[in-house]
Amino acid sequence: MPKTQYTKTALKEAIAGKLQRHFACEVEDATKDQVYEACALVVRDALTEHMIETQNEVERDGERQVHYLCMEFLVGRSLRNNAYNLGMLDALTAALKDMGFEMADIFEEEADPGLGNGGLGRLAACYMDGMATDGVRGTGYSIRYEHGIFKQKIVEGQQVELPDSWLSTGEVWQIPAMDETREVKIGGTVDTYFDDNGKLVVNYHDYTPVLAVPYDMPISGYGTNNIARLRLWKAQSPIALDMKLFSSGEYLKALEKHALAETISMVLYPEDNHREGQSLRLKQQYFLVSATLQDICAKHKAKYGTLENFAHKHVLHINDTHPTLVIPELMRILMDENDMSWEQAWNITSQSVAYTNHTVMPEALECWPVSLVQELMPRIMQIIYEINERFCKELWNYFPNDFQKISKLAIVADDTVRMAHLAIAGSFSINGVSALHSEILKERVFTDFYKIYSSKFCNVTNGIAHRRWLCEANPELAELIESKIGTGYRTHPSELQVLNNYADDKELLDKLGEIKRHNKQRLADYIKEHNGIEVNMDSIFDVQVKRLHEYKRQMLNILHIISLYHKLKDNPDMDFVPRTFIFGSKAAPGYAVAKKTIQLINSISKMIDNDPAVRDKLKVVFLEDYKVSLAEIIMPAAEVSEQISIAGKEASGTGNMKFMMNGALTIGTMDGANVEICEAVGKENIFIFGMETPEAEALAASGSYEPMVIYQNDPVIRRVLDQMIHGFGDGVDYTDIANLLLHGGNGGPADRYMSLKDFASYAEAQERVSQTYRDQDQWNRMALINIANSGRFAADRSIAEYAQNIWRVKTNFAF
Ligand code: 26W
């Protein structure tokens, strides 16, 4: 447990002290943002103290460390989380109250750092929390993007992207470590030759040097002094301006060189599950990888004087393929800078790297043109070629004479570098993120690799930071839980299971319903304030929040909503369980269909809200700028969780876990972690519909799917699509969307993700949702069972599995 106890009085004094010293003001004159900053500084002091202790311990005992590399860390706000973990949240709330401030208002002052797109980045953040709590020696590495994911504004129904500047209030959590600045070399020319002694000499020149300046965010764990560190690299030009160029009159060129270096950490790429072959992105990847490895290796050498024992002391975990260049970069450091042979370097490298795959979408699998890798990192390209050559020789042993297969599996082919193949060749572990996804990797995506390296493949089902998503986001629910089962579940999430014993406790179930209503009210107030829409508190809050992507099938939800609208228009007095459909989603700026889908949701929302015949029973709300802090309001208020991707495509999903933990019931396909959620709660406590993976895959592969036939035979669907062509009364034309569903487009088949095929089954499941909701006791009972069985989806459990099965480091977690 943390050593320090924080009292209200001590905190008040500390905050007042910070206000005085940093802002030269008294409590009475302080603004909310000054108070926020003062609180953050007080909390930070405690964290940095713990961080130093943790670092010293790591240094002393020399146990194996985990280095978690990820291009995204969607950490969310820090103040409340750290205060909770340090056990000072109550005292802080009381201290602020005494000083005349509401805790919630102060928390609102903090910007929500958007250093990620979606699932991948949020998972990385949840895992930092898990590592800190489980006592794993972990460091996360990423880029300190000046601008995170764009801010989304909805203007006349359409998404508009605005730059996000989070640093103003986020800076307080980052401690610069200037003395550990590294230099990354980009571009230039490399000459390699063997000297008289037969030793390889690598001469690298004319490159552009870029400084990597580290900023450390201490990530607290719960009930422990162990701190996980998140190291964010900022790119800086080493010279204010290139003086040589400058004095020779090439002012602009000097300026350009300078700016080029600094743009590396300027902005996060907003594509999710879709690669953009931009050279700046590849520079970012190499920048992250090279700075990180130089950092780890320099410290390791300072301690041991050699890198020979590197693999015993470090695991380099790569989160998806984006940091795969760690493999050739570590080879480069070991060979070029430490005189190791290829074989020795390869042994160390391939025993240090572990790779997690997060997607099976073909358009997300990374490939880089050889020419680009060559241009930006010539030495790395040489090493990749050599890895490829040796790898292909190895493949030859498994598939002799099968040239076709070998070129299919090669790392370099058709003038591109296939990052996933490089990751598989150079790592000792490859895992998927849910049981189903890991099976799909083995059986379909990486079948041939699995034949060769079956022992490298494993599964670790994703998990979420349950303290953030339950205890902090939903304090009333946490209090209710704790009144029954105590606080043990905070570090032993499986103890939530004890709640199963209360499934028939009417009083508890009523209380659960009451709490949900309070959380719904909070969201309703938010909606009123931001969308000007009054929602019916007795309606089912049905939520789909996630990135906008065709495979996630927001479209299926929309088609169903339109069909409900028709049903109500035909029969306004029918006995209809009122529903509020809530969406929140960002679309990649270049993804036209996704953006049009957002517009479609907004058109429908407006049409319904303007129609007195239906608007009390049916509502559609699109919440602007979905992000972590907004999710913290939405999750506790949700009653239905939409997890409706076409089976086989959603690697895991983690929103599904957050909803469940907050007592929402899932309507979903047998995809990703939904399968395990279904197993955990039982079929009777979840609404499953649609094709399962084998059927969906077979239908897609057969080429015989014809949505037009469904359109012709199903009057409900026909009317929905006809309405889409006809429009929603605001003059916006959606024929393109209808065409995409019925005829295909953009080089794809009609209704690629088979929304029409699953429509009837989905509508039927939604009808079951409505009927179930009529019996509130039954509904609350199902909600309780979902909460009670959500413990296995805690990040603490995932991290313990990584630690035990992949990283081979010790943890404090008890399964
Ligand atoms: C190169 C462009 C790009 C950018 C991001 C390709 C792929 C990605 C991510 C890996 C996509 C992603 O976030 N995948 C999600 O990962 C979550 C965490 O494991 C899963 O829960 C989601 O199902 C998966 O879509």
Q: Tell me what pLDDT residue 4 has.
A: 61
Q: Decide whether any atom of ligand 1 lies within 6 Å of the 650 Cβ.
A: yes
Q: How confident is the model over 408-425, as pLDDT tens digits?
A: 999 999 999 999 999 999
* Structure ipTM over 0.90, yes or no: yes
Q: Decide whether any atom of ligand 1 lies within 6 Å of the 119 Cβ.
A: yes
What is the Cβ-side half-sphere exposure of residue 98, based on CA atoms within 13 angstroms? 15
Q: Residue 210 is encoded by which pair of tokens?
A: 């870029």
Secondary structure in 3-state letters for 466-523: HHHHHHHCCHHHHHHHHHHHCCHHHCCHHHHHHHHHHCCCHHHHHHHHHHHHHHHHHH
Cα separation of 323 and 287, whole Å? Answer: 10
Residue with CA closest to ligand 1 atom 10 = 358
For the chain, give the percent of residues with pLDDT over 70.
99
- Residue 178: which pLDDT band, with cuts at 50, 70 and 90? very high
pLDDT for residue 559 is more than 60: yes
Q: How confident is the model over 644-660, as pLDDT tens digits?
A: 999 999 999 999 999 99
Cα separation of 338 and 327, whole Å? Answer: 16
- Tokens 């320090």 belong to residue: 4
Question: Which among 390, 350, 750 has a CA at the least distance from the CA of 550?
Answer: 750
Q: Decide whether any atom of ligand 1 lies within 6 Å of the 273 Cβ.
A: yes
SS3 275: coil
C-beta separation of 132 from 83 below 8 A: no
Q: How confident is the model over 790-807, as pLDDT tens digits?
A: 999 999 999 999 999 999
Catalytic residue list contains 484:
no
Most distant CA atoms of the chain, gap in Å: 93
Residue with CA closest to ligand 1 atom 1 = 275
- Residue 241: which pLDDT band, with cuts at 50, 70 and 90? low
C-beta separation of 672 from 650 below 8 A: yes
Cα separation of 387 and 394, whole Å? Answer: 11
Q: How confident is the model over 442-491, as pLDDT tens digits?
A: 999 999 999 999 999 999 999 999 999 999 999 999 999 999 999 999 99
- Tokens 């926020």 belong to residue: 36
* Pairing between β-strand 367-369 and β-strand 353-356 as defined by DSSP bridges: unpaired
Mean predicted confidence (pLDDT) in 83-89: 96
Which one is catalytic: 18, 490, 546, 619? 546
Q: What's the mean pLDDT when you consider all of the chain?
A: 96
Q: How remote is the CA of residue 249 from the centroid of ligand 1, in Å?
A: 47
C-beta separation of 138 from 66 below 8 A: yes
Output the CA–CA distances (angstroms, integers) from residue 477 to 28, 46, 458, 511, 788, in the order listed: 34, 28, 35, 9, 12
Residue 281, Cβ density class (10 Å: 0-12 exposed, 13-18 middle, ≥19 buried)? middle
Residue with CA closest to ligand 1 atom 22 = 653
pLDDT for residue 588 is more than 80: yes
Sign (positive or negative) of CA dihedral 645, 648, 651, 657? positive
Torsion of CA 497, 499, 502, 508, to 10 degrees: -160
Q: Decide whether any atom of ligand 1 lies within 6 Å of the 109 Cβ.
A: no
Catalytic residue list contains 658:
yes
Q: Which domains does the chain have, with CATH numbers?
A: 62-77+112-387+402-426 (3.40.50.2000), 466-793 (3.40.50.2000)
Sign (positive or negative) of CA dihedral 441, 445, 451, 453? negative
- Tokens 């000046």 belong to residue: 146
C-beta separation of 150 from 162 below 8 A: yes
DSSP state of 802: I
Mean predicted confidence (pLDDT) in 153-159: 98
CB within 8 Å of 502: residues ≥ 6 apart = 484, 508, 509, 784
Cα separation of 85 and 228, whole Å? Answer: 13
Q: How confident is the model over 703-743, as pLDDT tens digits?
A: 999 999 999 999 999 999 999 999 999 999 999 999 999 99
Q: Tell me what pLDDT residue 242 has.
A: 67
Catalytic residue list contains 48:
no
Q: Tell me what pLDDT residue 1 has.
A: 45
Q: Residue 23 is encoded by which pair of tokens?
A: 């802002």
Output the CA–CA distances (angstroms, integers) from residue 60 to 55, 201, 229, 249, in the order listed: 9, 36, 17, 53
Q: Tell me what pLDDT residue 815 has.
A: 85
Q: 663 φ, ψ to 5°?
A: 85, 20
Mean predicted confidence (pLDDT) in 678-683: 98
- Residue 252: which pLDDT band, with cuts at 50, 70 and 90? confident
Question: Which among 801, 557, 534 has a CA at the least distance from the CA of 668?
Answer: 557
Identity of residue 61: D
* Pairing between β-strand 208-220 and β-strand 182-186 as defined by DSSP bridges: antiparallel
Mean predicted confidence (pLDDT) in 168-183: 94
Ligand 1 atom showing the smallest separation from residue 281 Cα: 1
- Residue 247: which pLDDT band, with cuts at 50, 70 and 90? confident
Cα separation of 710 and 81, whole Å? Answer: 50
Residue with CA closest to ligand 1 atom 8 = 273
Q: Decide whether any atom of ligand 1 lies within 6 Å of the 364 Cβ.
A: yes
pLDDT for residue 76 is more than 90: yes
Separate counts of helices (H) and strands (E) for the chain: 34, 23
Mean predicted confidence (pLDDT) in 696-700: 98
Q: Residue 335 is encoded by which pair of tokens?
A: 């060979």
Catalytic residue list contains 552:
yes
Q: 149 φ, ψ to 5°?
A: -60, 140
- Residue 260: which pLDDT band, with cuts at 50, 70 and 90? confident
Q: How remote is the CA of residue 146 from the centroid of ligand 1, in Å?
A: 22
How much is the CA Rg of the chain, to the nearest whole Å? 27
User: Taking the mean position of all CA atoms in its chain, how far away is CA 468?
Assistant: 15
